Amino acid sequence: MTDWTDIGALTDIPERGARVVKTHLGCVAVFRTVSDEVFAIDDACPHKGGPLSEGIVHGRSVTCPLHNMVLRLDTGLAQGADEGAVSTYAVRVEKGRIMLDTTRLRRGQVA
């Protein structure tokens, strides 16, 4: 079962930008790509906890602003020689609104 929660308008996030959804279990970074794809991942880099929401979005990836670790937005996996991963969350756009599946967040299943 999914629990879709409206977290804002697509236009609230600039192209190649991000916004943070704060939860009682931690922060989730919601990204918008230049082609209006939307992804949601943990906001903490697996390397040293850098704020991924402040990173550089390129294609379907984000580069951590602290140590340049590159993570895929669709899988949460580190790219290149880096190792590690972050959790990803289901997200979709309906009528210009961003909907986040908060089922795992409510159950306390955030990494």
What range does the domain containing 24 cover?
4-105
CATH number at residue 38: 2.102.10.10
Q: Per the domain annotation, does 79 fall within a domain?
A: yes
Q: In what order do the strands lie in the sheet with 97-101?
A: 4-9, 97-101, 91-94
- pLDDT tens-digit map of 53-65: 999 999 999 999 9
- Bigger pLDDT: 2 vs 102: 102
Q: Per the domain annotation, does 65 fall within a domain?
A: yes
Name the E strands within the chain.
Answer: 4-9, 17-23, 26-32, 38-42, 56-58, 61-63, 70-72, 88-89, 91-94, 97-101
How many folded domains does the chain comprise? 1
Confidence (pLDDT) at 107: 63
Q: Per the domain annotation, does 82 fall within a domain?
A: yes
pLDDT at 110 over 70: no
Q: Per the domain annotation, does 110 fall within a domain?
A: no
Average the pLDDT over 80-91 and give the result: 94
Q: Per the domain annotation, does 111 fall within a domain?
A: no
Q: Per the domain annotation, does 99 fall within a domain?
A: yes
